Structure 1
């Protein structure tokens, strides 16, 4: 018995229109993360977003980091360096004195995913092996490496967020 198409994971639903074949896995992973994050955060209370059960990273950290890492890695993919606003947001990811809401954090994440997908649609597959630098030290990589890392890092934090949410909801 097969699942109905709407219950399939993103990668099983077929190619995303307007996206080069080699970039499909990146988009699929990011879109899968978006679906999972939005589902797990339904009815999650704002007052728990900074809780750190057993010392793990908070829900607020993960939601900010998911947005931030996509923004930063796609900036490097564009062969640019981070601007002051990006550096400030990075510094604030673990700052529990911020007043944040689940709705606001999800809006930022969803907007960042949309921005990443737009950027992916504008990438020519022929450029995937072009060199890129990461951070102030310009650690060498290439465009494909940055995009792959953006996808896997997004998935990693989605999984960590899931565990933190489940622990807090069952406390």
Structure 2
């Protein structure tokens, strides 16, 4: 596959259910775009907040954190104290890892998501799941689709932030 060809045009990902192919493609596209946008990005700009908006570092951590939390809900599990702590620190640049480590963390989480997708019977995609303390109702496929579209949204925001602080 060409590095300029988008994932959704690359054919099916082996063993991922047909209905989750768009979600898997979007997550893989997010990883590729993050790597592209942050090539040669200056580390000293990682936590800058241009115009009072979220930093590049926040977006990188948030991509990983949200995906982790949504996968937890899809698996019908509750969030752990460690996940709540991660959420609390997504925007905290103190003692933060490098941009390359944050990118690697996101790529690892996407790999874990794809491994999970391969275990999901398609017949369970419409099973009800609950989100958060308020137990808001959704479905397995709703959670996973949201993980993909939310990732794409933050990648777009990250691109704008990179453009604002890089020069």
* Bin of the TM-score, shorter chain as denominator length: over 0.9
Distance 2:31 2:104 in 1: 11
Structure 1 unaligned residues grouped into runs of 5+:
none
The list of structure 1 runs, each at least 4 consecutive aligned residues, that deviate by more than 3 angstroms after superposition, is: none
What is aligned with 1:20?
17
Matched residue count: 166
User: How far is the alpha carbon of 1:169 from its aligned partner?
Assistant: 1.4
What is aligned with 1:86?
83
Distance 2:24 2:96 in 1: 31
Instruction: Give TM-score scaled by structure 1 length.
Output: 0.94
Distance 1:111 1:45 in 2: 23
Computed over aligned residues only, the root mean square deviation of the Cα atoms, in angstroms, reads 1.0
Please list, as runs of the form range in 1=range in 2, the aligned pairs for 1:44-59 lying within 5 A after superposition: 44-59=41-56
Q: What is the DSSP-based 3-state SS (H/G/I as helix, E as strand, rest coil) of the residue aligned with 1:151?
A: helix
Match of 2:149 among 148, 152, 163: 152
Contact 1:46 1:100 in 2 (8 A): no
Structure 2 unaligned residues grouped into runs of 5+:
none
Contact 2:45 2:166 in 1 (8 A): no
Distance 2:109 2:78 in 1: 17
Q: What is the DSSP-based 3-state SS (H/G/I as helix, E as strand, rest coil) of the residue aligned with 1:22?
A: helix
Q: Deviations over 1:92-146 (max 9, x none)?
A: 0112333331111111111111111101111111001100000122111111110
Contact 1:133 1:139 in 2 (8 A): yes
Instruction: Give TM-score scaled by structure 2 length.
Output: 0.96
Distance 1:163 1:140 in 2: 33
